[in-house]
Amino acid sequence: MYKKWIHDEYLITNGIGGFASSSLTGANTRKYHAILNAAYNPPVSRHVLLSRVETTLAIDDREHMLESVEYENDYLDQTQYTKSFSDLPVPTFEYAVDTCLITKQIAMKYGENTSAVLYNVKTQDQAVKLKVKLFVNRRDHHDLSKENDFNYAIRIEEQTLHLTSDEHHFYVKGFGRYHEVNIWGPKEYYRIEARRGQDGIDVNFIPGYFEMNIPPYGDISFGIVASTEKIVESPEHIVSQEIHRRDKLTKDEDEIAARLQIACDHFIVDRKSTHSKTVIAGYPWFTDWGRDTMIALPGLTLSTKRYADAKDIIKTFIKYEKNGLIPNMFPDDNVEPMYNTIDGTLWLFIAVFQYYKATKDGAFIKEIWPTLDRIIKMHISGTDYNIHVDKDGLLDGGDATTQLTWMDVKIDGHVVTPRHGKAVEINALWFNALNIMDFFKTELKTKSSIDFLNYAERCYESFEKFWNEEKSCLYDLIQDGESVDRIRPNQIFAVSLPYGLLDEEQEKQIISVVEKELLTPNGLRSLSRDHEDYEPLYDGDVYKRDYAYHQGTVWGWLIGPYLEAHYNVYQDKAYVKEKLNLFLKHMEDTGIGTISEVFSGDAPHHPRGCFAQAWSVSEPLRIYRLIQN
Quick: pLDDT tens for 28-40: 999 999 999 999 9
Q: Cα torsion for 61, 64, 65, 70, to the nearest 10°? A: 110
Least confident of 58-72, 158-172, 436-450: 158-172
CATH top class, domain 250-628: mainly alpha
Name the DSSP letter for residue 71: B
Buried/exposed 276-313: b ≥16 CB within 10 Å, e otherwise: bbbbbbbbbebbbbbbbbbbbbbbbbbbbebeebbbbb
| Per-residue three-class SS string for 316-357 | HHHHCCECCECCCECCCCCCCCECCCCHHHHHHHHHHHHHHH
Q: Are 46 and 34 in contact (CB under 8 A)?
A: no
Q: Are 147 and 136 in contact (CB under 8 A)?
A: no
Per-residue pLDDT, 337: 86
* Residues 498-552 pLDDT 10s: 999 999 999 999 999 999 999 999 999 999 999 999 999 999 999 999 999 999 9
Where residue 2 falls among pLDDT bands split at 50, 70, 90?
Answer: low
In the CATH scheme, what is the code of domain 2-247?
A: 2.70.98
Per-residue pLDDT, 331: 60
Query: Is 15 a residue whose pLDDT tops 80?
Result: yes
The residue type of 326 is: I
Per-residue pLDDT, 330: 75
CA distance 372 to 433: 10
User: What pTM value is reported for the model?
Assistant: 0.96
Query: Is 1 a residue whose pLDDT tops 70?
Result: no
Q: How many CA atoms lie within 13 A of 539 on its CB side?
A: 11
* Residues 116-167 pLDDT 10s: 999 999 999 999 999 999 999 999 999 999 999 999 999 999 899 999 988 7
Coil, helix or strand for 396? strand
Query: Is 470 a residue whose pLDDT tops 60?
Result: yes
Domain boundaries, the chain: 2-247, 250-628
Coil, helix or strand for 368? helix
* Residues 403-416 pLDDT 10s: 999 999 999 889 99
Q: Round the average pLDDT of the chain to a whole number and report it.
A: 96
Per-residue pLDDT, 317: 95
CA distance 323 to 336: 14
* Residues 384-434 pLDDT 10s: 999 999 999 999 999 999 999 999 999 988 999 999 999 999 999 999 999
Coil, helix or strand for 100? strand
CA distance 160 to 190: 30
Coil, helix or strand for 82? strand
Q: Are 430 and 455 in contact (CB under 8 A)?
A: no
CA distance 301 to 448: 29
* Residues 608-620 pLDDT 10s: 999 999 999 999 9
CA distance 596 to 559: 13
Instruction: Tell me the average pLDDT across 283-308.
Output: 97
H helical segments located in 8-111 = none
CA distance 395 to 381: 11
Instruction: Tell me the average pLDDT across 436-445.
Output: 98
Between CA 327 and CA 593, with CA 549 as vertex, the angle to 5 degrees is 80
